[in-house]
Chain A
Amino acid sequence: LAKTTQPISMDSYEGQEVNITCSHNNIATNDYITWYQQFPSQGPRFIIQGYKTKVTNEVASLFIPADRKSSTLSLPRVSLSDTAVYYCLVGVIYGQNFVFGPGTRLSVLP
């Protein structure tokens, strides 16, 4: 399973766009990139998943360059309720032994 590297923490202010980048230099051809969000004392929640280029849903956008060695989760106009830990995972769609790294702790300030 490809190892990922993310910033440990980030701060932002309400209304700003937040971009969290994940490095995965050893990503394999069949690997997808998935992001999860976790609030304190709750289980992680799926945010978005992609394979290449750009994916957008009602919550976030995911940008993946052509070499796929990194990806960027973009949260538009964050609010206080977006304060959470964000995890980047890389692996095949199903059946994999999943590894969640330490994640990125995002703090949104008023």
Chain B
Amino acid sequence: EAQVTQNPRYLITVTGKKLTVTCSQNMNHEYMSWYRQDPGLGLRQIYYSMNVEVTDKGDVPEGYKVSRKEKRNFPLILESPSPNQTSLYFCASSNSGSVYNEQFFGPGTRLTVL
């Protein structure tokens, strides 16, 4: 089944404790991205990657890191999480060869930073 998977789905952590949220897609998509969603603010893009070893900042990159060492994986790293990073996070991927810009989203990761 074609899908985007994220792990963990739920995470409660404390301020300053480094964490990584993994994202993997099995559709051989070149493009991957991370979003955060907060009440009243819609989805805001954190980082995106057009291909392996190519990443760029989105709207709200501060406090986050990403890497794209393999085509299928795009982990989101919070080196020193803070309470304002409590949010619902989504990973997405899309195929550059597709006629439509159809992004496929993962199930989301709900992060709480205490």
A residues neighboring B (CB under 8 Å):
32, 34, 36, 41-46, 49, 87, 91-95, 97-103
Interface string of B1-17 (1 = CB under 8 A from A): 00010000000000000
A-B interface pairs (CB < 8 A), number: 66
The answer to whether A97 and B42 have CB atoms under 8 Å apart is: no
Closest Cβ of chain B to A85, distance in Å, is 8
Select which of B43, B101, B104 is within 8 A of A32 by beta carbon: B101
Interface residues on B, range: 20 to 34
Query: Once the chains are docked, how many angstroms separate the CA of A45 from the CA of B105?
Result: 7
Q: 24 A–B contact pairs at CB < 8 A?
A: A34-B101, A36-B103, A41-B88, A42-B107, A43-B107, A43-B108, A44-B90, A44-B103, A45-B105, A49-B101, A92-B101, A93-B100, A94-B96, A94-B101, A95-B31, A97-B48, A97-B56, A97-B57, A97-B58, A98-B33, A98-B45, A98-B103, A102-B41, A103-B42
